[in-house]
Amino acid sequence: MRYTRPVLVALIALMPLVCMPAVVAAVEDKTVINVGSKSFTESVVLGEIIRQLAQAEGLQSPHQAQLGGTRVLWNALLAGEIDVYAEYTGTLMQETLVAEKLTGLDDLEQALRARDLRMTAPLGFNNTYALGVKDDLAQQRDLHAISDLRQHPDLKLGFSSEFMDRADGWPGLQRRYQLPQQDVRGLDHDLAYRGVASGSLHVIDLYATDAEIEYYGLNVLQDDLNYFPAYHAIIVYRAELESRAPQVVRALQQLGGKIDAANMINMNAKVKLQGDSEAKVAREFLAATFNIDTAIQSESVWQRFFRHSREHLLLVLISLSAAIVVSVPLGIWAARQPRVGQLILGVVGIIQTIPSLALFVFMIPLLGIGGPPAVVALFLYSLLPIVRNTYAGLNDIPLHMRESAEALGLPSAERLRVIELPLATRSILAGIKTSAVINVGTAPLAALIGAGGYGQPILTGIRLDDTGLILQGAIPAAVLALAVQGLFEGLERYLLPRGLVGNAI
């Protein structure tokens, strides 16, 4: 009876690993076009338009909505993780491909061709960057152009995280205009609007087609030194689509010049201010512009909840059980060989110090986007507590106890199995509990790289300023963390030998 327990634990731990291939499959399919979008509303709306166009041509076109920033989308496109997304000329020319010093659309097209990428004609609007201040502040300080900011070093600046670091963002802007402000912080673009509305920020970056400019009564400061380039929206896609799905490429090309600025602002406003879904807005646009009627399968709240739950549970189960299967032997190895042990503990310790968000993004070049890189990142993140607790649990067994086992004449492997591991059970399980909570708590970030889960509604909720949506992700994630904790408490009660309950060794 007693010896069946470790076997049982191993089986439970291995089960999700067996399911893994099923998750990884279903990626490569010729008739599928993977659409991506960045994590702001306009990009998601354009992504929806692309998706529905492809769908109208009879293709399956999963939309990996709000995957992250430019880097993530660009790399995913190059790697073939996605086939198509909406981009801006300025972003490509001034940031992504800045080293190539491109000067016009023809240059850009050449540069894309060299990477087996293609672009459509500009869609018809220029979503340039701009700086905005609230109306009353603009009047009070007499602000009309960006140059005027030079006289007001006390103003607080808040820029979207991407703008903070981009070659065509804040660093260049500050140099061009010689701006003196010290209080400059990076934050999520959607949150910046709320910051400026509440007065905690004075100047923020805007996208010219943001619906919030009008909604929050913001003054757009004139770019009097002509710093910002044009950011014409285009659609970039992989060249192979031309042979794989020529009808879709034709449909995408037709979008050229069909969306003007007013139109785009209007669509953004419908999503952000009226609460329409991106799918609905895209459908209305396609119906009005091309007379295409796409049936959008709308997911009910429960369907969505179950999908997110399934994705989240799968992420957690696979990564955590893999971590258990790997960490316990690593911890044993570390305890048995002190020198190797220091190395093992050092390496897993260093992994733990990598910020979780960075770890997710590091995985993209290696494993692309979606489930697998997220699972690997979560797996790496779950190692340290289990390794360290296994190591400590074995090392903390009193010498006289270890010697008693040795003096009986039990071989080393047998001592480990019947004496040392059972005595370290409590410590090992405590490590697993810690890992599980870290894992469940970190898993929502996986939505940033397209792995779905409870992070998805949280991200969307932040973007749309929809607290209800945020809670749809946050509450189940918290409940899951508690449930996992409870599960392991129960497992501990079952696994911990009666002789160890309530007693120190």
- How far apart are alpha carbons 72 and 372 in whole angstroms? 15
Between 350 and 501, CB nearer to other proteins: 501
Between 350 and 505, CB nearer to other proteins: 505
Nearest to 196 by CA among 205, 204, 186, 207: 204
Q: How far is the CB of 398 from other proteins (least distance, A)?
A: 9
Q: Tokens 């120190």 belong to which residue?
A: 504
Under 8 Å CB-to-CB from 291, ≥6 apart: which residues?
Answer: none
Q: Residue 142, class by beta-carbon neighbours within 10 Å (0-12 exposed, 13-18 middle, 19+ buried)? A: exposed
- How far apart are alpha carbons 325 and 323 in whole angstroms? 5
Q: How far is the CB of 2 from other proteins (least distance, A)?
A: 8
Q: Which of residues 16-35 bind other proteins (CB under 8 A)?
A: none
Please report the DSSP string for 239-275 in residue order: TTHHHH-HHHHHHHHTTTT---HHHHHHHHHHHHTT-
For residue 376 the two structure tokens come to 């690997």
Sign, CA torsion 446/450/451/457: positive
The radius of gyration of the chain from alpha carbons, rounded to an integer in Å, stands at 27
**DSSP letter assigned to residue 202:** S
Between 382 and 427, CB nearer to other proteins: 427
Q: How far is the CB of 487 from other proteins (least distance, A)?
A: 22
Q: How far is the CB of 399 from other proteins (least distance, A)?
A: 9
From candidates 92, 149, 324, 419, binder to other proteins by CB under 8 A: 419
Between 59 and 500, CB nearer to other proteins: 500
423 binds other proteins (CB under 8 A): yes
- 3-state SS, residue 210: coil
Q: Which of residues 123-142 bind other proteins (CB under 8 A)?
A: none
Q: How far is the CB of 321 from other proteins (least distance, A)?
A: 25
Site mask, other proteins, residues 486-505, x = CB under 8 A?
-----------xxxx--x-x
Between 58 and 497, CB nearer to other proteins: 497
Q: How far is the CB of 492 from other proteins (least distance, A)?
A: 13
Q: How far is the CB of 394 from other proteins (least distance, A)?
A: 14
Q: How far is the CB of 1 from other proteins (least distance, A)?
A: 11
Q: How far is the CB of 389 from other proteins (least distance, A)?
A: 17
Total residues contacting other proteins by CB under 8 A comes to 24
Between 355 and 409, CB nearer to other proteins: 409
Q: Which of residues 389-418 bind other proteins (CB under 8 A)?
A: 400-401, 403-411, 414, 418
Q: Tokens 């800045």 belong to which residue?
A: 98
Nearest to 484 by CA among 304, 316, 302: 316
Between 353 and 503, CB nearer to other proteins: 503
From candidates 2, 30, 339, 493, binder to other proteins by CB under 8 A: 2
Nearest to 259 by CA among 50, 104, 110: 50
Q: How far is the CB of 408 from other proteins (least distance, A)?
A: 5
For residue 132 the two structure tokens come to 């905005």
Q: Which of residues 148-187 bind other proteins (CB under 8 A)?
A: none
- How far apart are alpha carbons 391 and 270 in whole angstroms? 56
Q: Which of residues 343-372 bind other proteins (CB under 8 A)?
A: none
Between 280 and 402, CB nearer to other proteins: 402
Q: How far is the CB of 401 from other proteins (least distance, A)?
A: 6
Between 103 and 503, CB nearer to other proteins: 503
Q: What is the helix (H) or strand (E) element at residue 436, kind and residue range? A: helix 421-442
Between 21 and 409, CB nearer to other proteins: 409
- How far apart are alpha carbons 283 and 257 in whole angstroms? 18
Stretch that binds other proteins, among 229-237, 253-261, 265-273, 421-429 (CB under 8 A): 421-429
Between 263 and 395, CB nearer to other proteins: 395
Question: What is the per-residue burial (b if ≥16 Cβ within 10 Å, else e) of 318-350?
Answer: bbbbbbbebbbebbbebbeeeeebeebbeebee
Nearest to 153 by CA among 129, 177, 136: 177
Distance between terminal CA atoms of the chain?
Answer: 22
Instruction: Tell me which residues touch other proteins (CB under 8 A).
Output: 2, 400-401, 403-411, 414, 418-419, 422-423, 425, 497-500, 503, 505
